[in-house]
């Protein structure tokens, strides 16, 4: 059984060893490890050693960050979503905290850093509740395309949710139609098509908008995707409601 302080210790050693070469104190070890990392031969070490070392290093670094987060408050974790080095570990730490972190995640939707807002939308894909659904809907109009993409995913997606159902047409169809028609980013239009597609069997506006997109959108990928959700399209036909017996 490895104790957490041992993992932290060994990860720390590795990270120090891999510090940039201008860190004189560790540069000798660092160059050796970096040679291994780059697949170059180092006396006394095999190429396999290098690969194992790299894997161990990455795992240890992740663990170290995650363990280091044990005492971190929710607000700080949310702001770490904007830090490339720590975003993944912070995301998973927040996901584990679940509804205890929900207030901080909701506040993070207003963060100045787009990556934080995006991360919070992705977290809400799993953690959204009735109270925070409206805030997620507002994010579909965020100025940053990546935020809009994750907001539309979260609004369309049932897979990642627990008990909370995806919201109904009365709440999300209007923004989805608007972005399908005129969002400048093709990925956003594509995600909007998915959301609009959920209402293809129940709302005539949905089919009309998807047909328009299927014929007219400037992006071939969006045209193709819209085609899946209109009558004759694979997803439309697969999801036809069964006639009551």
Residues that bind Zn ion (CB under 5 A): 125, 157, 160
Judged by CB, which is closer to Zn ion: 17, or 154? 154
Give the SS3 label for residue 42.
Answer: strand
Judged by CB, which is closer to Zn ion: 26, or 153? 153
Give the SS3 label for residue 45.
Answer: strand
- Encoding tokens for residue 98? 């679940």
d(Cα 118, Cα 111) in Å, to the nearest integer? Answer: 10
Judged by CB, which is closer to Zn ion: 77, or 128? 128
- Encoding tokens for residue 231? 């009558």
Min separation Cβ 189 and Zn ion, Å: 18
Rounded to the nearest 5 degrees, what angle is found at the Cα of 91, between the Cα atoms of 19 and 106? 135
Min separation Cβ 161 and Zn ion, Å: 7
Min separation Cβ 158 and Zn ion, Å: 8
Enumerate the β-bridge partners of residue 45: 42
Judged by CB, which is closer to Zn ion: 125, or 183? 125
Min separation Cβ 153 and Zn ion, Å: 6
Min separation Cβ 6 and Zn ion, Å: 36
Enumerate the β-bridge partners of residue 42: 45
d(Cα 78, Cα 117) in Å, to the nearest integer? Answer: 9
Judged by CB, which is closer to Zn ion: 101, or 127? 127
Burial (CB < 10 A; 0-12, 13-18, 19+), residue 15, is middle
């Amino acid at each position: 059984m490895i104790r957490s302080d041992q993992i932290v210790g060994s990860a720390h050693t590795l990270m120090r060893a891999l510090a940039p070469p201008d860190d004189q104190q560790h540069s000798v070890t660092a160059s050796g490890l970096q040679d291994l990392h780059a697949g170059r031969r180092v006396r006394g070490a095999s190429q396999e050693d290098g690969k194992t070392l790299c894997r161990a290093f990455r795992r240890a670094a992740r663990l170290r960050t995650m363990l280091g987060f044990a005492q971190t408050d929710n607000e700080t974790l949310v702001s770490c979503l904007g830090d490339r080095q720590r975003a993944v570990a912070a995301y998973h730490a927040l996901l584990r905290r679940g509804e205890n972190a929900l207030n901080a995640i909701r506040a993070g939707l207003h963060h100045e850093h787009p990556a934080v807002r995006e991360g919070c939308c992705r977290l809400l894909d799993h953690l959204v509740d009735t109270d925070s659904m409206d805030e997620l809907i507002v994010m579909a109009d965020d100025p940053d395309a990546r935020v809009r993409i994750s907001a539309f995913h979260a609004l369309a997606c049932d897979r990642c949710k627990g008990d909370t159902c995806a919201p109904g047409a009365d709440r999300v169809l209007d923004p989805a139609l608007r972005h399908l028609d005129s969002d400048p980013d093709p990925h956003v239009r594509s995600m909007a098509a998915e959301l609009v597609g959920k209402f293809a069997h129940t709302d005539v506006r949905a089919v009309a908008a998807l047909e328009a997109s299927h014929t007219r959108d400037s992006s071939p990928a969006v045209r193709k995707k819209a085609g899946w959700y209109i009558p004759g399209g694979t997803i439309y036909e697969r999801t036809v409601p069964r006639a009551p017996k």
